[in-house]
Structure 1
Amino acid sequence: MEIITGVERRRRWSVEEKLRLVAECDAPGSSVTRVSRQHDINRALLWTWRRQVRRGELGGETDRGFLAVTLPTLPWVRHCSTGARTRDWRLCCLTGCICS
């Protein structure tokens, strides 16, 4: 626990410290609650910093969570009983046809 003496009651956090603490929250096996208790910080303040990082207001990564994916084109499959064509064998099987 940190005891603050003097006139100033609020701690000042640099952008680097905020980013470090947010990164610590995102580490595997960690949580906002654990980091807030460890550094004696209000959880709401850490959540605010996390939101600011996501929006790009504190710097750091802003495009987390999205990854470009290319899916292969499926070949046409002939429906066994009706001769209809589909790209999804499940559609064929859901209509009662056995595609084996």
Structure 2
Amino acid sequence: MSIPAKLTTLMLSAPAPVAARRVVLSACALLALTAGCSRVPQLEDRLPADLRQQPYPRLLPLDTALAQQPLPEEESAELSDTLDARAARLRRRAEELRRRQP
């Protein structure tokens, strides 16, 4: 066990008055509440006035938001195959049109 882990274990297992623990927990809770309620003007002033009046975006389920997307390599290979097939069809059509003209 490392030294910081030993100290942490020692501090947590050491008998402390209940009142002292309550004071520490109350101070931590108060600090967390005041930090959460503070106003950060640097962030609030960045929003334009028209966006401040807009509702929050709709939340998506995590499964939908993190849906599996095809890999870019696979997607580009499919696109390349589609374009090659289209080009071959257009060449055949152009050849047929050349044969029809006298």
TM-score normalised according to structure 2 size: 0.20
Q: Which gives a bigger RCO, structure 1 or 2 (Cα 8 Å, sep 6+)? A: 1
Which has a greater percent of helix? 2
- Bigger-Rg structure (1/2): 2
Q: TM-score under structure 1 normalisation?
A: 0.21
